[in-house]
Structure 1
Amino acid sequence: MSLPASNSPVWGRLASGGLSRIQTSHLGTQMLIKRLELSKDPPATKATEIYSYFQKWERSLANEVAQLARL
């Protein structure tokens, strides 16, 4: 499965609370989720950061990328 485009609505849904629905054992992803849950940044900023993170680590996050289609 490939990563959705940067303008996909999935990134906005993740930034607006959807990250907590991702099941992951990847420590870096767990840390990102916790940090963004506590962040006061606007959702658009969070969405950009989430997309950049997934783009960088796409090969290591196959399970998490597969879950994106269900969010």
Structure 2
Amino acid sequence: MSLPAPGSPVWTRLASGGLSRLQTNHLGTQMLIKRLELSSTPPAAKAGEIYNYFAKWERTLANEVAQLARL
């Protein structure tokens, strides 16, 4: 499964609280989720950061990428 496009609404949904529903055992992803939950950064900036993270680590995040369509 490939990543949704950078302009896909899934990234905004994740940035607006959807990350808490993502099930992951990947430590780096858990740290990203916690940091973004505590951040006061605007959702648009968070969405871009989430997309960039997933684009960089797509090969190791197959389970998480598969969940994106359901979130």
Q: Give TM-score, length-normalised by structure 1.
A: 0.99
Shift, 1:19, TM fit: 0.2
CA distance in structure 1 between the partners assigned to 2:29 and 2:8 by the alignment: 20
Residue equivalent to 1:39: 39
Shift, 1:58, TM fit: 0.1
Q: Deviations over 1:35-67 (max 9, x none)?
A: 000000000000000000000000000000000
Structure 1: gaps spanning 5 or more residues:
none
Paired-residue identity, %? 83
CA distance in structure 2 between the partners assigned to 1:26 and 1:52 by the alignment: 16
Residue equivalent to 1:7: 7
Shift, 1:5, TM fit: 0.3
Structure 2: gaps spanning 5 or more residues:
none
Structure 2 counterpart of 1:45, one-letter code: A
Residue equivalent to 1:26: 26
Structure 2 counterpart of 1:10, one-letter code: V
Residue equivalent to 1:56: 56
Shift, 1:4, TM fit: 0.3
Q: Give TM-score, length-normalised by structure 2.
A: 0.99
Q: Number of aligned pairs?
A: 71
Structure 1 counterpart of 2:57, one-letter code: W
